[in-house]
Structure 1
């Protein structure tokens, strides 16, 4: 890096300049103080948020702190402002010049000061309920993330240096990246050519043994001489491709489960098109029941273990309730839920997207009967805009960096389309109106849904930092189900909290051996274990039924009564 040009030095002010600016700062402080006293002394009733004492005090402090920043930059005499731990860890300002160069230090601290002031003003707004205040917080955080000086070439020291060093080639390359993203209608997060389904993703050997208009059913080849007699059927979310559970071999939950001696079946949902405009929730519930029945018949077993991830877990809860109402609960030996919600009262920031205005926007972009998956990708990016939007604007648009290969982000950008009718029903009935948590408020397949009838042994996993299915929301399964339940709180979030192979030795999980009534009580008495929760799950699964059978005949894909239709990962996962 020795050949890189140094950033231009800031000229040292002369004595006359320092005297002038000292007078300006002193006069400004006097004006602020006089205005504050003048407002406080008036007899007119204060205007909330404008001239009330708390707002005036915040404004006075803001200007005083702003002038202090000016003074430090110009004279170097004022002490540096204390940083919060969050500000010190902020990756946007990791370059040392944000602190070492007086100008950029002033820009950075001014941004933090403005951010603190705006967020404090949101907290002080009167006459709004908790929901409205959280919407204001979300909007303010999004605005502040977008306005960060790190996002603009003229106020980012690293971008300025790169532009000088390359003669502007970084900006041209970044413009190329931006235009390519505009052309495809989606932000790029990773090297597009680094991964391919079937080549280095979704590589666990198996066969497609069933194909319907809604899903393919994949059976994976055994790698052990004997397997658990009870097979496992996995229902991934149809909002994304199933191979989040079958990434590179070292991260694959499916491969690991097969190696533990489980006969694994995976549902691969079809990405929606105009022909699926009438698909509703009943169809997905019927598909789950049909997949379970197909596996039971194929292997000649009375029941199966099931897993439901995210929205497929929400649907699995309804499926279990319908099976219970029909007297068919015995078809399922156990149910595992990965970050699944059934009570949406505390469903987190996605609740901001179910207003009448948002639903009207949804209607306007689903004229062909399906929602383009790029819209959903944009929504999820907004939930973590600093990491999933502006980080890439800076690195790949402004600095012109190459995209790094990352299997999880490749999966994240591999979007699926959603049936419009069902997706709107999902947002209104579940997110907005929270009907699933109310016994009998919803029906499917002609049967009222009452989650209080579900007595199936359940393993319920939540992610501590999950922003899509917050742990408080996932905990509702513990309250609504009446059967045996085991709750595990995993480190990290919606994806990494689930996809955490034992060999990686990452994160941790918490269990509480004592029955408790709330998540807060669970956390207070929880015992932390380092590493993955997968071994705990497999021990729990074996405890439900430890019987084994030889892995031959129908346990080998294509060797049973159903002929194989093709190799895993199938056709639907590749369809665009």
Structure 2
């Protein structure tokens, strides 16, 4: 009898799955173990304790100076909690300085003590930061001068409006409804003209109608992440990367992943490669035969694309004209704060929860991402919507962000263990069809993009594709975050850095690369499309027909999978 079939083991898994429902999927053992490691080493380090005592005294003096008009604590770049003018006045200035001083002391206290596990110290710091943010005077109405001012001006109207918003949100949450929006998929968002030309159990393949009389001979395949709806790259018309590519004369195809239910619980990570990426390439090769294909992967779509490309290179499949990896990680040793959610205890806990449900629910994943930016996505939203009574802004990306997806349990387990936890892809231990693959086998030119403020795929991690590949590679670092940095059409106030590594060049570390490449004003889309054109055939051709010969389109896009709730 296998371990999964053993009744005692299944009883344990059922018990952990029940606890997971109460904790939102967070393992109670992981933070306890981290705290014990950090606190135990700190308790046995008298010198470190004396140092912290000095830090506390210096922080108190600095905070006092700030209250009296001297050089006190200032928020870090990107921290918008204390921007209102009222924070410069008493008693709010005292609360601000006390909060920032406490945060500074906490950061000092959670520096790893000699012998302690650095990962445990980082997790303790992160968890403490969550509590400090929750208890910050900026999140409490009576200690936030902006809320006090709004309450006085409106006679409490802001709180009445906030109570109405809270009731609406709770009702919507109970009903499982999305926030109201003016954006409708297929009408004013995800509306680039197109057809669904293929469908299997994992994805629909969308072929976009040409917008020019002639096109570049090599088509583009867009592989989005399956943790998001594909139309992050086809938002409203003036914010759509796919529409932009079509306007530049490219024939574009895009994968629209299914929003999986329990019936796909046993779908594997390799199924997403074989029945996803490879199946899409096969269909495109039937529609446009004897042509190489530009492959574009975003986020996890870029990770699975790199796996597919390395496998194709190993097997002698040369159909890829180029590979573009957008905010996509291939090495996970520097995967940022997401690593705080990935250790043996946490992964096992999630596996038991997914064993019970068959899937990872979209709310669970969304909560993890929100925790990484809790000041903006949780407490900032609460401040504006409930305490100030402001209406939620309506934007295409916000509407897309609320359209969450699920993930099959087996696939997510393999992804967390094989890539995040064990980093097999760049450690030479990731096998496809029983044989290990290597990124350095990829010979197609690569264009990799990182974003400066990415909390999901930190640019230092994205940059490491340079360390594990040998071919021609361009790397762009753009302003913005994981989504806003990628969705960066010309005309926005953006900048980027761009570098080129030839096959014979030596490796350059990211800090040196950053220092040696000055920012360029504009959108990285423009040099990227020029790069694609340079790697396309010299003569443009008539647009291909829509769909495979003998297989009429299955319907108008955006199709059916993207509409699955």
What TM-score, normalized by structure 1, do the two folds share?
Answer: 0.84
- The one-character-per-residue Cα deviations of 1:529-557 (angstroms, maximum 9, x if unpaired) are 211111211121122223344334xx242
Contact in 1 for aligned 2:224/2:230 (Cα 8 Å): yes
Partner of 2:86: 97
Which runs of 5 or more structure 1 residues have no equivalent in the other structure? 1-45, 73-78
Give the one of 140, 159, 166 matched to 1:171: 159
1:418 offset after TM fit, Å?
0.5
Q: Secondary structure of the residue that 2:260 maps to in structure 1?
A: coil
Contact in 1 for aligned 2:300/2:329 (Cα 8 Å): yes
Partner of 1:35: none
Distance 1:251 1:80, change over 3 A: same
Q: Secondary structure of the residue that 1:239 maps to in structure 2?
A: coil
1:66 offset after TM fit, Å?
6.2
Partner of 2:472: 484
Paired with 1:165 and 1:528, the residues of 2 have a C-alpha distance of 44
- The one-character-per-residue Cα deviations of 1:174-230 (angstroms, maximum 9, x if unpaired) are 2343344445559x9x96222111121111001000111100000000011110111
1:82 matched to 2:82? no
Partner of 1:374: 363
Partner of 2:311: 322
1:571 matched to 2:564? no
Distance 1:332 1:114, change over 3 A: same
Q: Secondary structure of the residue that 1:550 maps to in structure 2?
A: coil
Paired with 1:300 and 1:257, the residues of 2 have a C-alpha distance of 21
Which runs of 5 or more structure 2 residues have no equivalent in the other structure? 1-42
Aligned length: 518
Contact in 1 for aligned 2:322/2:444 (Cα 8 Å): yes
- The one-character-per-residue Cα deviations of 1:13-63 (angstroms, maximum 9, x if unpaired) are xxxxxxxxxxxxxxxxxxxxxxxxxxxxxxxxx963699432332343345
Distance 1:234 1:355, change over 3 A: same
Q: How does 1:250-289 map to 2 (within 5 A)?
A: 250-286=238-274, 287-289=276-278
Distance 1:561 1:483, change over 3 A: farther
Paired with 1:260 and 1:509, the residues of 2 have a C-alpha distance of 22
Give the one of 538, 546, 564 matched to 1:547: 538
Contact in 2 for aligned 1:224/1:551 (Cα 8 Å): no
1:106 matched to 2:103? no
Paired with 2:515 and 2:144, the residues of 1 have a C-alpha distance of 43
Q: Secondary structure of the residue that 1:489 maps to in structure 2?
A: strand
Contact in 1 for aligned 2:265/2:359 (Cα 8 Å): yes
Partner of 2:128: 140
Q: Secondary structure of the residue that 1:92 maps to in structure 2?
A: coil
1:168 offset after TM fit, Å?
3.8
Give the one of 43, 58, 63 matched to 1:61: 58
1:344 matched to 2:332? yes
Contact in 2 for aligned 1:149/1:155 (Cα 8 Å): yes
Contact in 2 for aligned 1:191/1:404 (Cα 8 Å): no
Partner of 2:525: 534
1:255 offset after TM fit, Å?
0.4
- The one-character-per-residue Cα deviations of 1:431-488 (angstroms, maximum 9, x if unpaired) are 011111122x122344422222222211111112222111221122112122221112
Deviating more after overlay: 390-399 vs 481-490: 481-490
1:345 offset after TM fit, Å?
0.6
Paired with 1:298 and 1:60, the residues of 2 have a C-alpha distance of 71
Contact in 2 for aligned 1:206/1:220 (Cα 8 Å): yes
Partner of 2:441: 453
Larger Rg: 1
Distance 1:340 1:127, change over 3 A: same
Paired with 1:482 and 1:62, the residues of 2 have a C-alpha distance of 49
Partner of 1:304: 293
1:431 matched to 2:420? yes
Partner of 1:26: none
Partner of 2:205: 217
Paired with 2:413 and 2:400, the residues of 1 have a C-alpha distance of 24
Deviating more after overlay: 81-90 vs 459-468: 81-90
Paired with 2:406 and 2:213, the residues of 1 have a C-alpha distance of 40
